[in-house]
Amino acid sequence: MDNTLAMVEGEGRQRILAAAEKLFSAKAFDAVSMNAIACEAGISKANIYHYFPNKDTLYLAVLRVASHNLRAVLNEAVSAHGSVLDVLRHFARNHLQALLNRPQLVRLVWREILERGAPRAQEFAEQGFADMFSALVDVLKLGQSRGEFRQDFDPALVATLLLGANVFFFQSRDILRHYPPITFADDPAGYDAGIVEILLRGLVPASS
């Protein structure tokens, strides 16, 4: 009942989950074999089936913990204080930084979101989405109620715009880096700073 070291409650399970997470985040479901997972975990393939009844269950478990972890990382990253403007600025920067810090988790969860038609656990992968979204919408509504923002825009739309900017940056970073006019591919903080500044002030000069 006690832990005699190196046997900290499901140590084998953890190794399997870690190996599976690594492989599943790098390649698609069908491209990862149980053999490869076992090899990565340093155990035999049959041993996996002692902990998980089949491949789908293992994948679901991986997605479950990954989604939970990603959610925690994101929620923690975007908690901020200060004026609404500062909160918004920190929100953008920390959110993107969190994505870039955990690329494996993001890729894993996002792939599940993208791959419709095989409804494995969409509802489940969407939770982090909802968290970010409602938190951001709340910030924007607060800014509106305080009169710091215009009243005539849809907070949900701006939230989508901001979240999308970060996700898109995360996804296309390697591509963006190839284009000469882009200088912010390796400067996510500068990217978000520019994004937020444009969002706040707009493209059209104030005189208009």
Q: Can you give the binding site for DNA, defined by CB under 7 A? A: 1-2, 4, 7, 10, 12, 30, 32-36, 43-47, 49-51, 53-56
Q: With CB cut-offs between 5 and 8 Å by kind, which of its own copies, DNA, none does residue 47 bind?
A: DNA
Q: Give me the phi and psi of 146, to 5 degrees please.
A: -85, -5
Q: With CB cut-offs between 5 and 8 Å by kind, which of its own copies, DNA, none does residue 124 bind?
A: none
Token match 């599940």: residue?
A: 112
Residue in 111, 121, 131, 142 binding its own copies, rule: CB under 8 A? 111
Nearer to its own copies, 5 or 114 (CB): 114
Q: With CB cut-offs between 5 and 8 Å by kind, which of DNA, its own copies, none does residue 176 bind?
A: its own copies
Nearer to its own copies, 76 or 138 (CB): 138
Q: Does 189 bind its own copies (CB under 8 A)?
A: no
Q: Give me the phi and psi of 91, to 5 degrees please.
A: -55, -55
Q: With CB cut-offs between 5 and 8 Å by kind, which of its own copies, DNA, none does residue 34 bind?
A: DNA
Report how many residues bind its own copies under the rule CB under 8 A.
66
Angle at 139 between CA 138 and CA 142, to 5 degrees: 85
Q: Does 82 bind its own copies (CB under 8 A)?
A: no
Least gap, CB of 119 to DNA (angstroms): 17
Q: Which of 196, 199, 201, 204 is nearest to 90 (CA)?
A: 196
Q: Does 184 bind its own copies (CB under 8 A)?
A: yes
Q: With CB cut-offs between 5 and 8 Å by kind, which of DNA, its own copies, none does residue 137 bind?
A: its own copies
Residues forming contacts to its own copies in the complex (CB under 8 A) are 26-31, 107, 110-111, 113-118, 122, 126, 129-130, 133-134, 137, 140, 143, 147-150, 153-158, 160-161, 163-165, 167-169, 171-172, 174-176, 178-179, 181-184, 191, 194-195, 197-206
